[in-house]
Structure 1
Amino acid sequence: MISNLAQGVRAFTSNAFHVAGERDVLVDAGANFDVVERVAEAGGIDALVLTHTHRDHVGNLPDVVDAFDVDVWGYDTDQPGVDRAIADEERVQLGDDEYVAYHTPGHKDDHLCFHSPDAGVLFAGDLVFQGGSFGRTDLEEGNHPVLVDSIERMVDVLDDDLEAMHTGHGPSVTDQPYRHVEAALSAARSAGGF
């Protein structure tokens, strides 16, 4: 079961997804709200997994680590708070399902997406969003051509079997999520003059 613990929060935060199952995981910690209480109500976690280390995704990281004594997994262990590295195309257990981690820079150098073909689920972080939006590239480490390459990679990896896309901001997409990824690629190409 996947639930967004940041649902209804009126503060600057990313979404924070509790993935329950054999290995209870929090995907992104969010910021500026008490995620610890919400994680406890959801049954706790075995690990914190990051899509990337922008402040709105990791602001609650120290509180989560203190409360649950968990390792933090992300792409780059040189980033503050990241204990264990997840390599490109490494398989990781989130809840009851195995996901493949894809290094998808462009929004930030350490950005990862997580896809489970069996579950039909994508954790897209800030790569793409509902309605064909895509991650901003005007922040440090942002690179629009690299972002387009990363979205192209995910379009190639995914297909119409995708059932749910959970994004770093905004609502999750359960109605033809693959079409939203394709639309994001088209929009990103147009915005970059490709």
Structure 2
Amino acid sequence: MITNLAAGVRAFTSNAFLVDGERTVLVDTGANFDVTERVADHGGIDAVVMTHTHPDHVGNLGDVKREFDVQAWGFDTDQQGIDEPIADGETVRLGDNEYVALHTPGHKNDHLCFYSEAAGVLLAGDLVFQNGSFGRTDLEEGDHDLLVESIDRVLDLVDEDLGEMHVGHGPSMTDRPYSHIELAARMARSAGP
């Protein structure tokens, strides 16, 4: 089960997804709200996994690590707060399923998406969003051409039968999420750098 612990928060934050199961993991910690209380209400976590290290995604990271005595996993251990590396193509257990980590730069150099074919789930971070929106490339480390390549890579890997897509901002998609990725690929191409 995947629960957005940032649901209903009015402050500027990213989504923070609790993936319950054999290995309960918080994917992104959000910012500007007390996520630790919400994690505690669900019984705690075994680890934190980061899609990337923009402030709105890692603002609560220090508090979460201290409160639950867990390590944070991400693409680049040179980034503050990231303890353990996740390599491109590496398999990680989130909840009860294995997810492949996909290095998807363009929005930020350390951006990862996580895909479980068995579960039919994509955790897309800030790569793509609902209705063909896609990650900003006007921030430091942003690169529009790289973002288009990353969207294409995800589009090539996921299946049209994808059941759920959970994104860094806005609602999760359970109705034809693959079509939102297709649209994002077209929109990003037409937007140009």
Q: Secondary structure of the equivalent of 2:99?
A: strand
Q: Secondary structure of the equivalent of 1:92?
A: strand
Instruction: Write the distance in 1 (CA, Å) between the matches of 2:22 and 2:112.
Output: 22
Q: Counterpart amino acid of 1:85?
A: P
User: Please, which runs of 5 or more residues in structure 1 have no aligned partner?
Assistant: none
Residues 115-134 of structure 1 aligned to structure 2 (within 5 Å): 115-134=115-134
Q: Tell me what 2:90 maps to.
A: 90
Q: Tell me what 1:28 maps to.
A: 28
Show CA shifts across 1:89-119 (max 9, x none). 0000000000000000000000000000000
Instruction: Write the distance in 2 (CA, Å) between the matches of 1:189 and 1:159.
Output: 21
Instruction: Write the distance in 1 (CA, Å) between the matches of 2:115 and 2:88.
Output: 12
Structure 2 residue 122 is matched with structure 1 residue 161: no
Instruction: Write the distance in 2 (CA, Å) between the matches of 1:153 and 1:160.
Output: 14
Query: Identity of counterpart residues, as a percentage?
Result: 71
Instruction: Write the distance in 2 (CA, Å) between the matches of 1:158 and 1:46.
Output: 27
The two structures have a TM-score, normalised by structure 2, of: 0.99
Report the alpha carbon displacement of residue 43 of structure 1 after superposing the two structures with TM.
Answer: 1.2
Structure 2 residue 58 is matched with structure 1 residue 79: no
Aligned-CA RMSD value = 0.6
Residues 163-182 of structure 1 aligned to structure 2 (within 5 Å): 163-182=163-182
Show CA shifts across 1:119-174 (max 9, x none). 00000000000111000000000000000000000010012120000000000000
Q: Secondary structure of the equivalent of 1:139?
A: coil
Q: Counterpart amino acid of 1:166?
A: H
Q: Tell me what 2:5 maps to.
A: 5
Report the alpha carbon displacement of residue 40 of structure 1 after superposing the two structures with TM.
Answer: 0.3
Structure 2 residue 70 is matched with structure 1 residue 70: yes
Report the alpha carbon displacement of residue 42 of structure 1 after superposing the two structures with TM.
Answer: 1.1
Q: Tell me what 1:17 maps to.
A: 17
Q: How many residues align?
A: 193
Structure 2 residue 191 is matched with structure 1 residue 188: no
Q: Counterpart amino acid of 1:107?
A: H
Structure 2 residue 39 is matched with structure 1 residue 39: yes
Q: Secondary structure of the equivalent of 2:165?
A: strand
User: Please, which runs of 5 or more residues in structure 2 have no aligned partner?
Assistant: none
The two structures have a TM-score, normalised by structure 1, of: 0.99
